[in-house]
């Protein structure tokens, strides 16, 4: 790739990162597990409470996988929300690949996949502010002939901030594509 004489280093980096999203940005992470939510997080009207619920999701799954201990408390608002939630612990090393239209979680050697989500079905991603290596994303899982389900996928990696930066870039690129095509870009409807 030839360097444009008028482009700043930041612009060059951004262009390379956007190009890399087309073929996927791979991260080697631990897929801790997921939690099936009984209802949409969007049903909680207060944004601060939604953040507490998300934090509770992260910690509940990480505690179930023995990655976090009980000293990482579950916010009270989250306890009520998570009463009937189903936790599925995997605790396996995988590759998280972030593309400009989809996220995948899987083992490319054994060809076992734990998640494939279109960006349109992902509402947001979040990093635990106290356990900085635990993060996740909230997605709608669609299967033909079955009811849609809502899951919060929990991941562990020392590169959590870099993964979230790649996710944010993917969300931004996706929204720009949708905006340019005139389609609805509201991804917080799951």
Entry pTM? 0.86
* Tally of structural domains, the chain: 1
Helix/strand/coil for 70: coil
In a domain, 136, yes or no: yes
Render pLDDT for 71-92 as a digit per residue (tens, 0 to 9).
999 999 998 888 889 999 999 9
**Measuring CA to CA, which residue among 79, 80, 59, 78 is closest to residue 70?**
59
Alpha-carbon torsion 128, 42, 31, 168, what sign?
Answer: negative
Alpha-carbon torsion 110, 132, 116, 25, what sign?
Answer: negative
In a domain, 73, yes or no: yes
- Model pLDDT, residue 189: 40
Distance CA 159, CA 54 (A): 19
- Model pLDDT, residue 4: 54
Question: Is residue 67 within 8 Å of 59, Cβ to Cβ?
Answer: no
26 pLDDT more than 50 = yes
- Model pLDDT, residue 135: 95
- Residue 12 confidence class, pLDDT cut points 50, 70, 90: confident
SS (H, E, C) 120-175: HHEEEEEECCCCCCEEEEEEEECCCCCCCEEEEEEEECCCHHHHHHHHHHHHHHHH
User: Which residues, including other chains, have CB under 8 Å from residue 140's CB and lie 6 or more apart?
Assistant: 117, 121, 122, 123, 148, 149, 150, 190
Report the chain's mean pLDDT, rounded to a whole number. Answer: 89
- Residue 9 confidence class, pLDDT cut points 50, 70, 90: confident
In a domain, 133, yes or no: yes
- Model pLDDT, residue 119: 94
Count of beta carbons in the 10 Å neighbourhood of residue 90? 17
In a domain, 7, yes or no: no
For residue 134, give the CATH number of its domain: 2.30.29.30
In a domain, 12, yes or no: no
- Model pLDDT, residue 183: 66
In a domain, 134, yes or no: yes
- Model pLDDT, residue 96: 97
Question: Is residue 35 within 8 Å of 55, Cβ to Cβ?
Answer: no
In a domain, 100, yes or no: yes
Length, in residues, of the chain? 190
Q: Per-residue pLDDT averaged across 179-187, rounded?
A: 66
- Residue 190 confidence class, pLDDT cut points 50, 70, 90: very low
In a domain, 186, yes or no: no
The parent domain of residue 124 ranges over 24-181
Render pLDDT for 141-174 as a digit per residue (tens, 0 to 9).
988 899 999 999 999 999 999 999 999 999 999 9
- Model pLDDT, residue 44: 86
Q: Which is more confidently placed, 185 or 76?
A: 76
- Model pLDDT, residue 30: 97
User: Which residues, including other chains, have CB under 8 Å from residue 65's CB and lie 6 or more apart?
Assistant: 32, 33, 89, 90, 91
Distance CA 170, CA 38 (A): 27
């Amino acid at each position: 790739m030839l360097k444009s004489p008028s482009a700043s280093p930041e612009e060059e980096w951004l262009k390379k990162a956007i190009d890399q999203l087309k073929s996927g940005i791979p991260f080697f992470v631990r897929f801790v597990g997921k939690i099936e939510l009984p209802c949409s997080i969007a049903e909680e009207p207060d944004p601060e409470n939604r953040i507490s619920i998300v934090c509770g999701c992260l910690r509940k799954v990480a505690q179930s996988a023995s990655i976090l201990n009980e000293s990482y408390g579950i916010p009270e608002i989250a306890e009520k929300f998570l009463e009937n939630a189903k936790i599925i612990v995997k605790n396996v090393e995988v590759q998280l690949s972030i593309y400009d239209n989809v996220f995948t979680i899987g083992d490319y050697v054994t060809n076992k996949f734990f998640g494939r989500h279109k960006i349109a079905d992902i509402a947001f991603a979040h990093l635990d502010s106290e356990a900085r290596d635990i993060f996740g994303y909230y997605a709608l899982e669609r299967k033909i002939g079955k009811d849609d389900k809502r899951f919060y996928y929990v991941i562990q990696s020392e590169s959590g901030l870099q993964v979230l930066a790649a996710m944010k870039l993917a969300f931004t690129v996706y929204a720009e594509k949708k905006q340019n095509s005139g389609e609805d870009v509201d991804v917080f409807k799951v």
